[in-house]
Amino acid sequence: MRGALLVAGTTSDAGKSVLVAGVCRWLARRGVSVAPFKAQNMSNNSVVTADGGEIGRAQAMQARACGLEPSVAFNPVLLKPGSDRSSQVVVRGRVDGTVSARSYYARKAALLDVVSAELAGLRERFDVVVCEGAGSPAEINLRGSDIANMGLAQAADLPVVVVGDIDRGGVLAHLFGTLAVLDAADQARIASFVINKFRGDPALLAPGLDQLTALTGRPTLGVVPWADDLWIDAEDSLSAVADSVLGRPAPPFGSQWLRVAVVRFPRISNATDAEALACEPGVAVRYVTEPARLLDADLVVLPGSKATVADLEWLRRTGLADAVATHARAGRPVFGICGGYQMLGRRIADPHAVESSPESSPESSADGGVVAGLGLLDLEVVFDVEKHLGNPAGTAWGEPVRGYEIHHGRVVHSGDPPLLEAAGAGQEGSDAGAVIGTHWHGLLENDGFRRSLLARVAQQAGRAGFVPAPATSFAAQRDAQLDLLGDLVEKHIDIRALEHVISHGVPVGLPVVTSVLAGSP
């Protein structure tokens, strides 16, 4: 089989990322040479590739589903929002400026050439490329500059399958409306539909699917059921909902639970770091935005941030900063990751307004770009214009560890014992007893280190009945999630019809839909 496919969605978070991962896993298990592709992603969840570039974490997850290492070719344009009006642009893995929504519009013509070239290269090297759209093709106000949905489909001659999330309600209207608002040329690219997150009796939905086919001339290839066990590697940090419990907590291995509070910053970055903790039996991980939620926490985690100075100001404004400090000074553990690590220090200097600005961070601009941290670590950080990317390895507490680094902040002083020992890594971690931190993302995915951390947290928090489970493998749980996605595709989608779309494209002669009321008086 040879070909390509674009999976578009009726909305953001309709299930594009997981459907692409599932199709990739299904094909890879059949021995098909397959690769993922997302022309343009907007997310603060990212990873570092083996060749030193930065791509969206969803594409790294999809690459794993294919049995591949992450590559910048899988996500040539990444937008990382730093505020409601501006985003950092990463092109072919490297930072290429900061844009507003309006200024980015002018750059898209050149970027279409970039993404088209990367996709063409993948199609030469792989039998099948499964592409993921961005947002929704129904955003017709953006169609003129689109490089990820119908603009890409037209440029690369791709058939399109549209997925809708029935759990939101109104999915039949979403699918019909998405098709109907497109012009005739774009409609001709839409081959079929998929419905995601279905709960209930399929027989009750069937008449609606028949009517949808009658109205559009397009079949629904399948109805993918809701999967309670599916949660690892969420596409967007916005899925980290405040006060929600992460994952599916299993009963404790010992007699007591550990309670973890992850501060949900407004510009949280790589929120997926906490997923490894949530995989552990007896560990309940919750995202929090209120000081009261820290009162019963055994461990407080300050995760990464795309706007460290602004999120530190938010931490103070909400009262969370005082709550974190009170927690730490009582000898109860706090763990900071990347931006959260930087906040734990004495001072942060951002002289070039890399992650702060006079508009978003007046405190830093008033003092030459310098703000006081929480003062829980003897640490000083300066933000450089150049972003540091890396895939370091070393040891922590005698355990071998690997991670990845994505940060502008550079440690210029640390008076605490180092958390990590890594050749050439510099001071990228601090261990001050109850308060520890690191610039390394992915550190918690190392099973031995994670178990050591949980044992230490239990001791510091007085949870003598908590015992770390001896055999939890985060990598195995992630692969189990990908296998679950592959199973869902194989069992609930018409795979023969899907194969035909991938190999042969959109059937000719599909009707153009204008309105269900077309021709009515």
Distance between CA atoms of residues 347 and 429, nearest Å: 16
Distance between CA atoms of residues 277 and 300, nearest Å: 12
Q: Judging by beta carbons within 10 Å of its beta carbon (0-12, 13-18, 19+), is residue 330 exposed, middle or buried?
A: exposed
Confidence of residue 520 (pLDDT cuts 50, 70, 90): very low
Catalytic pick from 327, 439, 441, 492?
Answer: 441
Confidence of residue 84 (pLDDT cuts 50, 70, 90): confident
**Token pair for 176:** 């019909």
Dump the DSSP string for 129-194: EEEE--S-TT-GGGGGG-SSSHHHHHHHT--EEEEEEGGGS-HHHHHHHHHHTS-HHHHTTEEEEE
Cβ-Cβ contacts under 8 Å for 13 (sequence gap 6 or more): 165, 235, 236, 238, 239
**Token pair for 450:** 């994670």
Say if residue 240's pLDDT is above 60: no
**Token pair for 463:** 């949870």
Catalytic annotation present for 408: no
CB 225 within 8 A of CB 425: no
Distance between CA atoms of residues 77 and 74, nearest Å: 9
**Domains of the chain: residue spans and CATH:** 3-39+108-231+479-504 (3.40.50.300), 254-469 (3.40.50.880)
pTM: 0.92
What are the Cα distances from residue 398, in Å, to 4, 421, 448, 461? 46, 9, 9, 22
Taking the CA atoms of residue 115, residue 116, residue 121 and residue 127 in that order, the dihedral angle to the nearest 10 degrees is 110
Confidence of residue 515 (pLDDT cuts 50, 70, 90): low
Cβ-Cβ contacts under 8 Å for 314 (sequence gap 6 or more): 265, 266
Say if residue 518's pLDDT is above 60: no
Average pLDDT for 88-111: 89
pLDDT at 356: 61
Confidence of residue 225 (pLDDT cuts 50, 70, 90): very high
Catalytic annotation present for 352: no
Average pLDDT for 222-237: 79
Distance between CA atoms of residues 71 and 119, nearest Å: 12
Mean pLDDT score of the chain: 92
Strand partners, 128: 3, 34
| DSSP-derived secondary structure letter, 198 | E
Say if residue 367's pLDDT is above 70: no
**Phi, psi for 209 (deg, rounded to 5):** -65, -40
Average pLDDT for 180-199: 97
Residues 393-419: tens digit of each pLDDT:
999 999 999 999 999 999 999 999 999
Comparing CA positions, the residue from 230, 295, 208 lying closest to residue 259 is 295
Distance between CA atoms of residues 142 and 125, nearest Å: 31
Distance between CA atoms of residues 225 and 208, nearest Å: 16
CB 176 within 8 A of CB 516: yes
The sheet with strand 405-414 has its strands ordered as 370-372, 347-349, 379-390, 405-414
Q: Judging by beta carbons within 10 Å of its beta carbon (0-12, 13-18, 19+), is residue 254 exposed, middle or buried?
A: middle
What are the Cα distances from residue 45, in Å, to 58, 136, 435? 8, 20, 25
pLDDT at 154: 97
Count CA atoms closer than 13 A to 164's CA, side-chain side.
23
CB 15 within 8 A of CB 140: no
Unique residue bearing structure tokens 């019963």: 296
Comparing CA positions, the residue from 21, 32, 30 lying closest to residue 74 is 21
Identify the three-state secondary structure at position 121: helix
pLDDT at 235: 53
Residues 274-311: tens digit of each pLDDT:
999 999 999 999 999 999 999 999 999 999 999 999 99
Distance between CA atoms of residues 138 and 373, nearest Å: 44
For the chain, counts of helices (H) and of strands (E): 15, 26
Cβ-Cβ contacts under 8 Å for 305 (sequence gap 6 or more): 265, 267, 268, 269, 311, 338, 339, 340, 343, 355
Distance between CA atoms of residues 351 and 390, nearest Å: 23
Distance between CA atoms of residues 46 and 193, nearest Å: 29
Query: What letter represents residue 383's amino acid?
Result: F
Catalytic pick from 174, 338, 408, 492?
Answer: 338
Maximum separation of any 2 CA atoms in the chain, in Å: 79
